[in-house]
Amino acid sequence: MMRAVAVGPPLLGGGVLILGWVALAAALQGGHLVAGPAEVAGWITTNPGLIGRALGATLANAALGFLAGNLVAVALAAVAMIWPRLLNLVSGLALVVFCLPLIATGPILRVLMGPGDGPQIVLAALAVYYTTLIPLLTGLRATPAVWLDLVHSYGRGRWSELIHVRARAALPYLFAGLQIAAPAAFLGAMVGEFTGAERGMGVLTIRFMRALDVPALWAIAALAAAVSMAVYAAIGALARAVLHDRPPVILAPPRVMGGSRPERVMQPILLVAVVLVLWWGAMALPGMNPFFAKSPLDVMAALTTAPQAAATRDTLWTALAETAVFLLPGYLAGLILGAGLAVALVIVPNLSALVMPIAVALRSVPIVTTAPLIVLFLGRGALGTISLVAVMVFFPTLVACLHGLRQAPGQILDVFHTYAAGRLRQMAHVRLPAMLPALFAAARMSVPAAILAVTVVEWLTTGRGLGSLMALSASVSDYNMLWAAVVVVTTISAVCYAGVAAVERRILSIYAPEQVRR
């Protein structure tokens, strides 16, 4: 009986999702935009071998990238906790790598690695490691100072502190990151297949978009969503089986000294220097063809001293202006919707069964599959692009905020229960402050995700902005423009990230000081 009660709500939510899909297909019948479940099932039944081989190839690459990316995230988080002075450098380098647009890095990886599955696996890993790293770092810092004092009283160091205290406190945040990473891995693998792979779901997507085969495109989207939702549900089930302890009360931050002002000023300078050194070093590796492997000096020359430097700057500026128009509204809309829905689901838990399947489906369907259809439906203007950016930001924000709301200390909630305080009072005074670290973690990792979304939409559908410029530059082998666009996108991502981080430090220094002190 209990099993039926537990399984019933998700099935109800899935049923509502399918009914909505049927209604949408019926409303748009004849518009060549939406294929209904019956058409999709018929297409899959007719082409089981084709779709099975493609799904197997993409799933294998996504799984390897998911594993590799999350292992890298765990290793980077451990390094940052054991050697706290490296935290800013490690997180900064991780951000720079994550900000590299998949549209540009895909063709470069294909040239470097040649045919095979290497680019797909690398892009899947690049798509997921940061979405796990940021929540994990937040969880590793969500530790009561008295726990750390107990470890230190036994003469143990940071390694014991990490293994016995911080790792346990970080588990809820780790599972949140893994759930967010599951759809991202599939997206990264598909983008890698767009760059010249021999098989996979991305290859079929390109083929069917050119043929305007709507049932085939929706079949790919449905299968990709089903796989991502299954992984999401499996990670959630594992989390529920592992996590039994109530969240602790964090009364005080760890007692350590913050860095001096000169040290804080030198940190971004050191980061830029390390990035430039690594960039130069990568370009000097054997086998790097200077035709496509551009050094910092090459990019600088292309923007300043080359004969076409003025035209290059004008092109970049125009593309940047076209991208920026859609970026901020979509980003803010996704954050507000994600956080607002998370609050609503905690206040009215019965809504979860209906809402969560739809929310997971929206993010699980790869944007490279649905972007052309959504833009055709909503138009090539602001509404279509902003909606897709908001969807990309909405899901990680929703998942992170739900986990953050559940970190409200159980003992404090018990006090509110004894006074018969309702859910709204609990939300305002306990759960929202507990959610703030997760909200800002989502806000930080959503900055590059929003830029990825808008550039992918520009690449696939609108034909404007930085996404279209990078795709066009790669297709005509204009690597000076491609590398310059990559630098612009990465710089904008880093600047926006720094702005969010500055707001985060100011607010969390009051509500969650353990997050801003090492």
Same fold, 54-248 and 294-518: yes
Q: Would you place residue 5 in the very low, low, confident or very high pLDDT band (cuts 50, 70, 90)?
A: very low
Contact by Cβ (8 Å): 62, 187: no
Specify the pLDDT at position 515: 67
pLDDT in tens, 17-50: 778 777 777 776 665 667 778 888 888 888 888 8
Contact by Cβ (8 Å): 213, 136: no
Report the distance separating Cα 518 and Cα 504, nearest Å: 15
pLDDT in tens, 103-148: 667 777 777 777 777 788 888 898 888 888 888 888 888 777 777 7
pLDDT surpasses 80 at 377: no
pTM, to two decimals: 0.78
Report the distance separating Cα 300 and Cα 484, nearest Å: 8
Point out the least confidently predicted range of 5-9, 72-76, 430-434: 5-9
Under the phi-then-psi rule, with left for phi > 0, alpha for psi from -120 to 50, and beta for the rest, what region is 249?
beta
Q: Would you place residue 72 in the very low, low, confident or very high pLDDT band (cuts 50, 70, 90)?
A: very high
Top pLDDT among 271 and 8 is at 271
228: CB partners within 8 A, 6+ apart: 182, 183, 186, 360, 363, 364
DSSP state of 252: S
Query: If you count them, how many residues does the chain have?
Result: 518
Point out the least confidently predicted range of 1-10, 247-256, 453-462, 508-517: 1-10
Q: Where are the domains of the chain?
A: 54-248, 261-285, 294-518
42: CB partners within 8 A, 6+ apart: 215
Nearest-10 crossing angle of helices 352-364, 167-194: 50
Specify the pLDDT at position 254: 44
Tell me which residue of 462, 404, 330, 362 sits closest to 142, measured CA to CA: 404
Q: Would you place residue 255 in the very low, low, confident or very high pLDDT band (cuts 50, 70, 90)?
A: very low
pLDDT in tens, 389-404: 888 888 888 888 888 8
Specify the pLDDT at position 7: 53
Report the distance separating Cα 515 and Cα 517, nearest Å: 6
Contact by Cβ (8 Å): 364, 224: yes
Contact by Cβ (8 Å): 406, 423: no
Contact by Cβ (8 Å): 345, 431: no
Mean pLDDT (whole number) for 439-450 = 85
pLDDT in tens, 86-99: 888 888 888 888 87
Q: Would you place residue 68 in the very low, low, confident or very high pLDDT band (cuts 50, 70, 90)?
A: very high
Superfamily (CATH) of domain 54-248: MetI-like (1.10.3720.10)
Tell me which residue of 183, 166, 186 sits closest to 174, measured CA to CA: 166
Point out the least confidently predicted range of 151-155, 272-276, 283-287, 383-387: 283-287
Superfamily (CATH) of domain 294-518: MetI-like (1.10.3720.10)
Q: What are phi and psi of 124, to 5 degrees?
A: -65, -40
Specify the pLDDT at position 138: 84
Q: Which amino acid makes up residue 182?
A: A
pLDDT in tens, 171-222: 888 888 888 888 888 878 887 787 777 788 888 888 887 777 888 888 888 8
